[in-house]
């Protein structure tokens, strides 16, 4: 892993005001599949016989080299480059703020056009977490989230919209741009080695875009991050869990957080629709799960709420027969929350019990807390909902 050269604990890009936002004038090619790229080439007059080869070239420049404009694509003929530039861009989401934590974690605030009003912008966050043996990028799938888990900051923000496949792939591209992490790195190492779909939003409520984006990210002629290094975290959208295994084939993480329906209904309201038993059955049915490809169960440690040894015992009982590991997440506080993080020795006792029962039970080290970049702290600057609006959204999420 490359050491960071920038000063720690710094703001590298000062947030630009929303009023300066200029929506893109042309569509970006980022996020298109090979078939869609071929269609776009057809639209600008590239002959059918040439399209496959041109798509290969474009794919290489876009996703392997990280080209930031068509001029760089020197193996593509000048005529096609200029046609492409007239109709399209290779723009990623616009970075409007970049913060670096004193532990090296970086958070980018990205600005996106609003779906229905081109004059307005939406914002989303994306976080890079460097460790000694890997660099993990935490990617968002929605602006906000409809699900309102009671301990999650993102859940207090209204859902504005789903991200497109291009905006999801674009987050990885922004990280590679900012970290100087494309194919021409001199020492051949990579900074972004792993992806976790654990940013803002519920990825399985934006299934098609998340699937299309992750298939691009995993393609080994481009960005090339293998499926084994991509983890999708869900709060438990049962019907889409098996689909995710079949159609995307990435590693699965389940935000469990409670072992009794009564408590889980409160912490993760989606549980009222898909209770624990159904959720665990979907995990048992997850294609490709094995001892080498275990399902991660995330469990946020909330003081006096879900952290007793009885909870740990029931957890072990529930997971019997599932290839599982348990990731204990110390609760990350955010302004206005009523929850507290469990005491450290309670987290250790809980972890030890699970470990002795035969499960790996690492405690996730909170990263980037000083810049509100840790799990569940992400929230872009969309106004908070009134209680009534929140209730209406919750009802919507329960009935769709
Ligand atoms: N919506 C998806 C993915 C995003 S959240 C999901 O819920 O799985 C990523 C993880 O952070 C989830 O396990 C989530 O429950 C957890 N999380 C949310 N708020 C948190 C907080 N304040 N402290 C610690 N973890 C939190
Ligand atoms: Fe949404 Fe996940 Fe937060 Fe729940 S924990 S509100 S599903 S982002």
At 400 the pLDDT is 30
Nearest to 142 by CA among 340, 380, 396: 380
Residues having CB closer than 6 A to ligand 2 are 145, 147-149, 152, 154-155, 201-202, 235, 255
Instruction: Give the mean pLDDT of 59-85.
Output: 95
Nearest-CA residue for ligand 1 atom 15 is: 255
% of the chain surpassing 70 pLDDT: 85
> From residue 65, how far is each of 60, 84, 171, 224 by CA, in Å?
6, 18, 16, 11
At 334 the pLDDT is 82
At 399 the pLDDT is 33
Instruction: Give the mean pLDDT of 344-357.
Output: 96
Ligand closest in space to the Cα of 234 = 1
Which of 143, 154, 258, when mutated, tests ligand 2's pocket best, judged by the most ligand atoms within 8 Å of its CB? 154
Q: Work out the pLDDT band at 236, boundaries 50, 70, 90.
A: very high
Q: How far apart are CA 205 and CA 237, in angstroms?
A: 7
Could you say which of 98, 123, 125, 167 is catalytic? 125
Nearest-CA residue for ligand 1 atom 11 is: 375
Which of 159, 233, 266, 374, when mutated, tests ligand 1's pocket best, judged by the most ligand atoms within 8 Å of its CB? 233
State pLDDT tens for residues 174-218.
999 999 999 866 677 889 999 999 999 999 999 999 999 999 999
Q: Residue 209: how many CA atoms within 13 Å on its side-chain side?
A: 21
The average confidence (pLDDT) of the chain is 87
At 22 the pLDDT is 74
- For domain 34-87, the CATH architecture is Orthogonal Bundle (1.10)
Atom of ligand 2 nearest to the CA of 376: 3
At 394 the pLDDT is 37
At 7 the pLDDT is 54
Instruction: Give the mean pLDDT of 371-396.
Output: 49
Taking the centre of ligand 1 as the mean of its atom positions, its distance from the CA of residue 287, in whole angstroms, is 24
Taking the centre of ligand 2 as the mean of its atom positions, its distance from the CA of residue 271, in whole angstroms, is 12
Lowest mean pLDDT among 86-90, 145-149, 222-226, 368-372: 368-372
Taking the centre of ligand 1 as the mean of its atom positions, its distance from the CA of residue 198, in whole angstroms, is 7
Instruction: Give the mean pLDDT of 327-342.
Output: 91
**Which of 154-168, 247-261, 383-397 holds the top average pLDDT?**
247-261
Ligand closest in space to the Cα of 233 = 1
State pLDDT tens for residues 144-167.
888 989 999 877 777 668 999 999
Ligand closest in space to the Cα of 327 = 1
Instruction: Give the mean pLDDT of 225-234.
Output: 96
User: Residue 133 above 60 pLDDT?
Assistant: yes
With a threshold of 0.85, does the pTM exceed it? Answer: yes
Residues having CB closer than 6 A to ligand 1 are 149, 151-152, 198, 202, 233-235, 255, 298, 300, 329, 331-332, 375-376
Strand ranges of the sheet holding 121-130, from the earlier edge strand across to the other edge? 10-13, 94-100, 106-113, 121-130, 135-138, 194-197, 230-234, 251-255, 295-301, 324-330
Which of 125, 126, 198, when mutated, tests ligand 1's pocket best, judged by the most ligand atoms within 8 Å of its CB? 198
At 116 the pLDDT is 64
Q: Work out the pLDDT band at 391, boundaries 50, 70, 90.
A: very low
* Domain ranges within the chain, ordered by starting residue: 34-87, 92-399
Instruction: Give the mean pLDDT of 229-254.
Output: 97
Phi and psi at 95, nearest 5°, equal -80, 120
Domain 34-87 and domain 92-399, same fold? Reply is no
User: Catalytic residue at 246?
Assistant: no
User: Residue 396 above 80 pLDDT?
Assistant: no
Q: Work out the pLDDT band at 398, boundaries 50, 70, 90.
A: very low
State pLDDT tens for residues 280-314.
999 999 988 888 889 999 999 999 999 999 999 99
Instruction: Give the mean pLDDT of 121-139.
Output: 92
What is the bridge-based pairing of β-strands 230-234 and 106-113? unpaired
User: Catalytic residue at 375?
Assistant: yes
Stronger pLDDT, 165 or 3, i.e. the higher one: 165
* Class (C level, CATH) for 92-399: alpha beta
Buried b (16+ CB within 10 A) or exposed e, 372-396: bbbbbbbbbeeeebeeeebeebbee
At 23 the pLDDT is 74
Taking the centre of ligand 1 as the mean of its atom positions, its distance from the CA of residue 152, in whole angstroms, is 6
Retrieve residue 181's tokens: 């992490």
Nearest to 329 by CA among 268, 283, 380, 374: 374
């Amino acid at each position: 892993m490359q050491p960071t050269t920038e000063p720690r604990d710094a703001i590298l890009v000062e947030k630009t005001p929303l009023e300066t936002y200029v929506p893109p004038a042309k569509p970006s090619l980022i996020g298109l599949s090979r078939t869609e790229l071929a269609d776009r080439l057809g639209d600008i007059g590239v002959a059918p016989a040439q399209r496959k080869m041109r798509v290969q070239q474009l794919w290489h420049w876009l996703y392997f080299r990280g080209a930031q404009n068509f001029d760089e694509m020197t193996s593509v003929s000048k005529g096609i480059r200029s046609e492409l530039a007239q109709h399209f861009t290779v723009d990623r989401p616009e970075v409007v703020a970049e913060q670096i934590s004193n532990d090296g974690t970086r958070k980018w605030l990205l600005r996106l056009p609003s779906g229905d009003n081109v004059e307005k912008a939406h914002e989303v966050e994306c976080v890079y977490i460097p460790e000694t043996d890997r660099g993990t990028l935490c990617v968002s799938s929605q602006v906000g989230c409809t699900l309102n888990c009671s301990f999650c900051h993102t859940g207090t923000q209204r859902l504005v919209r789903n991200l497109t496949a291009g905006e999801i792939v674009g987050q990885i591209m922004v990280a590679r741009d900012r970290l100087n992490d494309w194919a021409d790195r001199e020492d051949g190492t990579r900074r972004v080695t792993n992806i976790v779909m654990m940013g803002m939003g519920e990825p399985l409520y934006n299934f098609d875009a998340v699937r299309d984006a992750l298939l691009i990210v995993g393609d080994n002629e481009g960005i090339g991050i293998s499926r084994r290094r991509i983890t999708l975290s869900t709060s438990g959208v049962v019907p889409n869990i098996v689909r995710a295994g079949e159609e995307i084939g990435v590693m699965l993480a389940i935000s469990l957080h409670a072992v009794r329906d009564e408590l889980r209904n409160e912490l993760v309201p989606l549980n009222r629709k898909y209770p624990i038993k159904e959720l665990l059955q979907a995990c048992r049915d997850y294609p490709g799960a094995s001892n080498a490809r275990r399902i991660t169960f995330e469990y946020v440690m909330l003081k006096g709420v879900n952290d007793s040894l009885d909870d740990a015992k029931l957890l072990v009982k529930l997971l019997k027969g599932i290839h599982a590991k348990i990731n204990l997440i110390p609760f990350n506080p955010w302004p206005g929350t009523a929850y507290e993080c469990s005491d450290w020795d309670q987290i250790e006792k809980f972890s030890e019990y699970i470990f002795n029962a035969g499960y790996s039970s690492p405690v996730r080290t909170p990263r980037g807390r000083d810049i509100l970049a840790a799990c569940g702290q992400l929230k872009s600057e969309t106004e908070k909902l009134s209680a009534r609006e929140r209730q209406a959204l919750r009802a919507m999420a329960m009935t769709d």
